[in-house]
Every structure is written in C-alpha cells, then in structure tokens.
Amino acid sequence: MPAPLLRLDGITKRFGSLLANDAITLELNRGEVLGLLGENGAGKSTLVSILFGHYVADAGTVEVDGQPLPPGQPRAAREAGIGMVHQHFTLAANLSVLDNVMLGAEPLWQPFSRRAEARAALVQTAARFGLAVDPDARVGDLSVGERQRVEILKALLPFGRQRGARVLILDEPTAVLTPQESESLFATLQQMVASGLAIIFISHKLHEVRRVAQRVAVLRGGALVALRDTADTSADELAELMVGRRVAPPVWRAHEPGDVVCRVPGTPLALRAGEIVAIAGVAGNGQQALAEALCGVHAHAGGAIEVAGRPLPPSPRAFIAAGVARVPEDRHAVGSVGEMALWENALLERQHEPAFVRWGLVRRGAVRAFAQRLVQRFDVRGGGLDAPVRALSGGNLQKLILGRALLPRGGEGRDAAPVLIVADQPTWGLDVGAVAEVHQRLLDAAAAGSAVLLISEDLDEIFALADRVAVIHRGVLTPARPKGDWTLAAIGLAMAGTAPEGTDAVAA
C-alpha cells in the first residue's frame, strides 16, 4: 500500500479541563474524500485548526507525504500543500478575483508584483478543475457559488509561496449554495480527486457526505469513535454515532391551517395559524430585512404589517406585545448577551410581561422559576441558572432562545402561545441531534396554533417542515405555494432568480 498523503498520529489538545481532542489518529490517501462528522463541540474545529497550524497540539504529530509538519505555523501548512475553504468566505469584496488569490502569496519585500504569472496560473488552474471565473471580476459582484470557486482557486493556486493544495479542507461547503451550485461543486470535487488531491469534507448534511466521501470519521466528545467505509454505513447509523443515541426525525403531517394572523402589505405573504411558511433563498437577498420588519426592528417599505388584524408600528415592543416571538439568525450577537446569566437571558424580549416585571422591577423569583422550567422542558445543558450563556454550546444556546420564544405567554395554556414565530436560520451550524430537536419544537408550535415563518437556506430543512414555500431573490418574493408543488430543481432556479413558470414575484 502506498504511504498516506496525510497522517495525524495521537493528536491531543486540552483547553483547561476540557479535552478537545483525545489521541486522534487518522490517515488520508491521495485521491480520497474523507468525511469528518461530529456534534457541535465534538472536536472537529480544533482538529482542523491543529492541522492548519492555528493551534499547537499538546501531544501527537502531523505528517504530510511522510514529512513532519511544524506545529503552529499556518505558512508551513500552506507551503506543505494544505488548503482550507471556510464556511464563511474570507474574500475582499472590493478587489478583483486576481487580487484576492494573490493576497498573501507574495512576500512584502518583493519589489514588484508578478501579476502576469499569477493570472496565467489562475487561468490554468481554473481550466484544470472546471472552475470558470473571470480574473478581473470584482468579487462583490459575484454570486455565492462564484465566490466559493474563488476560495477554492485561492487554495489550489500554485503561485508564490503557495505550492497549491494537495490536501483541501472544505467546511460546510454547500451551506449557502443553490442545488445547482452544489451539483457543480460535486462535479469539481470528482475532478480534484481524479487528479490526486485529497479532501476533508466537513458537513452536517449526511446524505452529501455519503455521496462524496469514500470514508467517514466520526468524532464524539473529542475522541474518534468510528471510522467507516461510506458504502458500509447509513445516514441513520452515522447520526447515532455522532450523538451516541438514536435520532428520531421529526414527522410532518398534513393539516388544515387556521385564519390569517399576519399580512405583509405589498407582498403575497399571508401567514395562517397552525401553518409553517418557509422562505428559501441564498444569503443576502433580502430575507434578513423581511425578518427584521416582521419583528418591528425597522419599518416595512410597503406599509404597516398587520398582526391579528391590527396594523403595528415599527416597534419591537409593539410586535412582542402583539404575540410575535423570534428566533434570530445570530444567536450570539442578537439572540443573547454572553456575559449575562442564563436566567437573565431567559427574560430578554419577555420583560414586558407582568409576571416577570412590575413597576419597573424584575421579579427575580418568578424569572428564575421560568428559566428553570425552560431549562427542563428544552433540555438546556451547560451550567446552572447563574452561569453566563457564553459558556453554552451553540445547540444549547439555541434551545434556550427557542424556549424563551415558544413557552406560552403568561401561563401554560394554549391561548397564551405566540401568535407568530419568526424563525430565522434556526438550525444554522447545529449538529444532527440538535437540528432534530429544533425541528420538532417548531412543528409542535405550529400544531399548538402558532403561525411560523421559517427563513432558511437549507432546502432539506424547508421540505421537512414547511406547509408552503416562497423564494426570495434580490428582494423579490414569489407567492408561497404548497411544498408539494415545488421540485428541487424549480426551487433552485427560483433562488438563482429564475421564477418557475406561472409564478409572479413581488418585491418584499
């Protein structure tokens, strides 16, 4: 057998009392795709950061093509042929494609820039892997899929200090792509492995991992708990290995919706009680502005939004008082205050309720009792009521925010349930176990009579939860149609700006 291209031997890393990586040994061969799976906090990011030189392992070694890799030196990792494409792109939007791929590739003391050589290398590399892109295009003008191509080319380009990646790490590479863009990426990956590249594919989408990877490594609690040939495993087994228990998927059932509880003037959007309406779209197409308008953060350009038949002023307090609850996109910067205690965060956006605040004074006992009930019913783990929420994992913080939004107002009765729930990217970055729990909570909320607006870039999530689906592209919203009327291809085209035949789109 030929020697592996990459070998990690006994990698161990601690952060205080936390054992993030526990003697992990892995090998990666030329022309192979290795799927890397694990819950949030399982140790994936730490392991990749050690490989890329951002962290130094407490024990263990990394070898590339039989040569030891100096620890803690990102430049050495790049020069050894390790490249990484992050989930959140690291490109300069105001620069051209050529300028972006050249950044950091030349020494500062070099008296002149070798742009012609870089351009030739870029064109050649793009042609080799089928990554068509205009070197002179401004990155800010590119689609999300085109920006990802630039990120990949930046890692693959043999120029200056970079020899071109031989090991490519892809972190959630399809998270912001349309189905058509994902298919294009998969075709590119096939060309890469055919030319001898090795790829580490990190994703929460198990069907994609099983499609592109020959082997799958599963981390849990910092340890390598399984290494499987993809052909010999299933998505259910992988999910169980990740979380240590069987993951029961939520079950959507057809039902009759109730009356309209929210109308957005100037758009075809009308939300009914007991119904989940999903808005699909690539990031940056206006869905965040719509979500904020539906929570009173700013005024809607088309006029006052109606909730329960009453037009509301652009005031978060007015929307909260009307029974609108939200799960914001950014759970850290918007959904919580990291230095505040868990019980204090449980009060946020509910401080208008007389049960919790009276005459401007917080009723600590009532709030703490509410927070304790929230922790128990939503299984929030990671510290007591007085622990700062910054210590919570992403999944547990999301469950705290969900509980705060979904627990009935003023009591446990159905009548006090939220009128409207605006769930904006509710499972972003969560593992399969946390995703299943969040999905079930949203389905339960709709079954209890709440209208749910789901904003998501994950089409699997949309088809699992939604009753009706609309698509937004550059601020233009299609009418919401029953999800059975959509195909994956049609929804992908609409996300790219080509509305399905017979569909009229209206500016949101």
Are both 436 and 376 inside the same structural domain? no
Structure tokens at 235: 């998505």
Are both 182 and 285 inside the same structural domain? no
Are both 69 and 27 inside the same structural domain? yes
Higher pLDDT, 51 or 41: 51
Domain count, the chain: 3
Are both 487 and 506 inside the same structural domain? yes
> Which of 416, 448, 470 is the last residue in one of the domains?
416
Are both 158 and 225 inside the same structural domain? yes
**Is residue 261 included in any domain, yes or no?**
yes
Angle at 439 between CA 438 and CA 445, to 5 degrees: 90
- How confident is the model over 410-423, as pLDDT tens digits? 544 334 689 999 99
Pairing relationship of beta strands 33-38 and 476-477 according to DSSP bridges: unpaired
Look at residues 418, 386, 383, 414 and name the one whose alpha carbon lies nearest to residue 402: 418
The CATH number of whichever domain residue 75 belongs to comes to 3.40.50.300
Are both 53 and 170 inside the same structural domain? yes
State how far the Cα of 384 lies from the Cα of 161, in Å rounded to an integer: 49
Which of the four pLDDT bands, split at 50, 70 and 90, describes residue 198? very high
- How confident is the model over 427-444, as pLDDT tens digits? 876 778 878 888 998 999
- How confident is the model over 98-115, as pLDDT tens digits? 988 888 776 666 677 778
Q: Is the pLDDT of residue 408 over 80?
A: no
Are both 233 and 372 inside the same structural domain? no
The 3-class SS string of 279-344 reads: EECCCCCCHHHHHHHCCCCCCCCCCCCEECCEECCCCHHHHHHCCEEEECCCCCCCCCCCCCEHHH
Are both 40 and 164 inside the same structural domain? yes
Higher pLDDT, 52 or 422: 422
Pairing relationship of beta strands 67-68 and 260-263 according to DSSP bridges: unpaired
> Which of 416, 432, 465 is the last residue in one of the domains?
416
Helical axes 179-194 vs 144-156, angle rounded to 10°: 20
State how far the Cα of 351 lies from the Cα of 358, in Å rounded to an integer: 9
Are both 422 and 408 inside the same structural domain? no
**Domain that includes residue 269, residue range:** 250-323+418-508
Burial 246-277 (b: 16+ CB within 10 A, else e): ebeebebeeeebeeebbbbeebbbbbbbbbbb
Are both 317 and 402 inside the same structural domain? no
**Is residue 1 included in any domain, yes or no?**
no
* Percent of the chain topping pLDDT 70: 94
Look at residues 435, 454, 465, 441 and name the one whose alpha carbon lies nearest to residue 326: 454
State how far the Cα of 230 lies from the Cα of 210, in Å rounded to an integer: 6
Which of the four pLDDT bands, split at 50, 70 and 90, describes residue 264? very high
**Is residue 341 included in any domain, yes or no?**
yes
Are both 211 and 63 inside the same structural domain? yes
- How confident is the model over 363-390, as pLDDT tens digits? 899 999 999 999 988 888 777 899 898 8
* Percent of the chain topping pLDDT 90: 43
> Which of 387, 416, 445 is the last residue in one of the domains?
416
State how far the Cα of 95 lies from the Cα of 113, in Å rounded to an integer: 16
pLDDT of residue 15: 87
Pairing relationship of beta strands 276-280 and 468-473 according to DSSP bridges: parallel
- Tell me the pTM: 0.75
Are both 147 and 50 inside the same structural domain? yes
- How confident is the model over 316-368, as pLDDT tens digits? 999 998 999 999 988 888 889 989 999 999 999 888 888 888 888 888 999 99
Mean pLDDT for the stretch of residues 165-180: 83
Structure tokens at 139: 């990155």
pLDDT of residue 496: 82
Mean pLDDT for the stretch of residues 21-35: 95
